[in-house]
Amino acid sequence: MCLSIVHVVSVLDRQNVPLVLQLYGEDKSALHMEKILYASLDRLDEMITGHGVQEDQSGSVEYQGGLYLGRLASVGLYSVYGFLTSVHKRVLLCLKEDQSRERIGDGTMNDLMMDIADAYADHIASPFLEDTAFSKSVTEIIGKHLCVQIEQ
């Protein structure tokens, strides 16, 4: 059984500036999707503060790996999930959820978000990757974790 439909994958820096905004699905209105993502950023900051995440002198946070923050916001049929990497990159995933579909478990979402964060790190670390390499990686990761068909 396929689960929720992915509409946006975004990676932001610590000042919430989008580094990547990848749109999927039928609703490809970037402005509409950006508004949904920005609606969740206050909650993201609250969650980070609530987890007591502190930066050291180098700008790294005090934990290893990443921190899955769960569902940050729901706007209409869309839900935004968040993940914070160890270098304060924020990964946001916007899903269109439906009552008739099964909910995605936190373990699956954590693994998915961690894989997306790793793919982004690989992308920026290699000057030889094409600009579309990250998008292709994310599409494969989503397919692996969620069994959804991505419309591009």
The domain spans of the chain are: 5-146
The confidence score (pLDDT) of residue 2 equals: 45
| Class of CATH domain 5-146 | alpha beta
Q: What is the pTM of this model?
A: 0.81
The confidence score (pLDDT) of residue 102 equals: 66
Cα-based angle 21, 127, 55 (whole degrees, multiple of 5): 60
Beta strands in the chain (DSSP E): 5-12, 18-23, 66-75, 78-85, 90-96
Q: How would you list the strands of the sheet with 18-23, edge to edge?
A: 18-23, 5-12, 90-96, 78-85, 66-75
Low-confidence ranges of the chain (pLDDT < 70): 1-4, 26-28, 51-65, 99-102, 147-152
The confidence score (pLDDT) of residue 114 equals: 93
